[in-house]
Amino acid sequence: MVAMDLSEMEVVYQHPHALVDMYTHFCPGCTHGVAHRLVAEVLDEMALSERTIGVASVGCSVFSYNYLNIDFVQAPHGRAPAMATGVKRVLPDHIVMTYQGDGDMISIGAGEIVAAAGRGENITVIFINNANYGMTGGQMAPTTLPGMKTSSSPNGRDVEQAGYPILACELLSTQQGASYIARRSLHDPKNIRMAKKAIRLAFETQVRGLGFSMVELLSTCPTNWHMTPVKAVKWLEEKMIPYYPLGDYKVHPTISELKV
């Protein structure tokens, strides 16, 4: 252990205020934790926690209502965008975000999310794509890669039978009401920085009343992928990014001019 006198030093990084200081249920190395931390940092930087309402989804994602230090409601599986619509329309001066997994958002909730984007609902969606249903034991999700083994596709996803993974950013960016749609990854420091900036821009979109914003975060599920956390981030980089290209899919002109 290397000891130093901390009183002589400045704090470069500390636990964000908008993140509750508690032990989480997430598996070791699960990047849900990184996503939570980035959302909390952005809420702190924009001083939004006091007027932000979260809508939690069903999945490992659900406990965001315990971990983020903001008000929360919880929606039935896939219905977070519908609930967020109601909250935002009743409380338009509040910031409303959903935090949803891939099984939640683009499987059972695919209808809700497309409709919310089409309506241009002024809400922000944080979408965690870990290529499986995490909480229930790693079953195949619409986002599972072709050939990828899961507990319900033990021989690998057969596209002849189960079709191809759904590309949420590509799909939602075709909607007129969508103003900010971006895909980022949580596998390394550089990409985590870029992910944070995208989350910031998504909230900036809502603050300006510009319409629907969504950030897709490619994420690991080391437990159900049967990998160590270190191996899982490598796998994400090598296998997921080629199928899910990172980048900005739609950016409102006001937001592209913004410097954050």
Ligand X SMILES: Cc1ncc(C[n+]2csc(CCOP(=O)(O)OP(=O)(O)O)c2C)c(N)n1
- In this structure, what token pair is assigned to residue 146? 């072709």
Binding to ligand X by residue 58, rule CB under 6 A?
yes
What residue type is assigned to position 166 of the chain? Answer: I
By a kind-dependent CB cut-off of 5 to 8 A, residue 141 interacts, out of ligand X, ligand SF4, other proteins, none, with ligand X
Lateral strand order in the sheet of 178-185? 71-74, 52-56, 95-101, 124-129, 212-218, 178-185, 247-251
| Nearest residue (CB) to other proteins, 9 versus 90 | 9
What residue type is assigned to position 253 of the chain? Answer: P
| CB 75 within 8 Å of CB 65 | no
d(CA 226, CA 222): 6
| Residue choice 16, 19, 32, 200 for contact with ligand SF4 (CB under 6 A) | 32
CA-only gyration radius of the chain, Å? 18
By a kind-dependent CB cut-off of 5 to 8 A, residue 90 interacts, out of ligand SF4, other proteins, ligand X, none, with none
d(CA 5, CA 7): 6
Number of shown-chain residues binding other proteins (CB under 8 A): 37
User: Of 23-31, 41-49, 67-75, 188-196, which part binds ligand SF4 (CB under 6 A)?
Assistant: 23-31
Binding to ligand SF4 by residue 42, rule CB under 6 A?
no
- Enumerate binding residues for other proteins (CB under 8 A): 1-2, 4, 6, 8-16, 19, 21, 23-24, 26-34, 37, 40, 188-189, 192-193, 222, 228-230, 233
- Enumerate binding residues for ligand SF4 (CB under 6 A): 26-27, 30, 32, 60, 130, 134-135, 221-224
